[in-house]
């Protein structure tokens, strides 16, 4: 690790600890040449997930975009943000565990609906109405009947 002060390539680790989220390790280092201390972070390198949209266009997975869409369906519902953030973490973990670099957006939409169905039925119907693009009241009614039948 190069020292940011003198560019010497040797340093020793003085202190190591996990970050609060346990997603990386914070290391305090001391340069063996000039004695200055600096901090580095070590984290797992994740391969980017590419999402294939309905129209065929591609974009990288963005957990904030997913959370924003879910938050819209949960507006004015008694659901804490931490529950929704945990849901997004679970979905991202499930996607990464598939070991596929490209995922169809339909897969993500179905995962969101599965999770929302367990958390809040109103939020589920809101999300489904946008995701499935209900064209008329009959399709909406069919979805409600499926929900009530399960």
Looking at beta carbons, which pairs linking 112-117 to residues 24 or more positions away fall under 8 Å? 112/66, 112/69, 112/70, 112/87, 115/87, 115/90, 115/91, 116/70, 116/73, 116/74, 116/87, 117/147, 117/150
pLDDT at 150: 59
For the stretch 82-119, pLDDT in tens is 999 999 999 999 998 888 899 999 999 999 999 999 99
- Is 79 within 8 Å of 119 (Cβ atoms)? yes
| pLDDT at 147 > cutoff 80 | no
pLDDT for res 84: 96
Q: What is the pLDDT of residues 51-72, one digit of tens each?
A: 999 889 999 999 999 999 999 9
Give me the residue spans of the domains in the chain: 11-43, 50-149
* pLDDT score, position 47: 78
**pLDDT for res 86:** 94
Q: What average pLDDT does range 133-139 have in this prediction?
A: 72
Q: Say yes or no to pLDDT of 137 above 90.
A: no
H/E element, 20: none
Binned at pLDDT 50, 70 and 90, residue 22 comes out as confident
């Amino acid at each position: 690790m190069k020292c940011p002060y003198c560019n010497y390539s040797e340093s020793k680790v003085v202190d190591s600890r996990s970050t609060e989220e346990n997603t990386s390790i914070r290391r305090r280092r001391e340069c063996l040449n000039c004695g200055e201390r600096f901090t580095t972070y070590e984290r797992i390198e994740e391969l980017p997930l590419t999402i294939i949209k309905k129209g065929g266009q591609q974009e990288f997975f963005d957990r904030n975009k997913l959370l924003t869409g879910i938050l819209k369906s949960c507006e004015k519902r008694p659901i804490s943000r931490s529950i929704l953030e945990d849901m997004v973490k679970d979905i991202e973990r499930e996607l990464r565990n598939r070991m596929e670099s490209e995922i169809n957006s339909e897969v993500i939409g179905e995962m969101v609906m599965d999770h929302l169905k367990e958390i809040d039925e109103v939020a589920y119907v809101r999300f489904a109405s946008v995701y499935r693009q209900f064209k008329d009241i009959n399709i909406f009614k069919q979805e409600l009947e499926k929900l009530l039948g399960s």
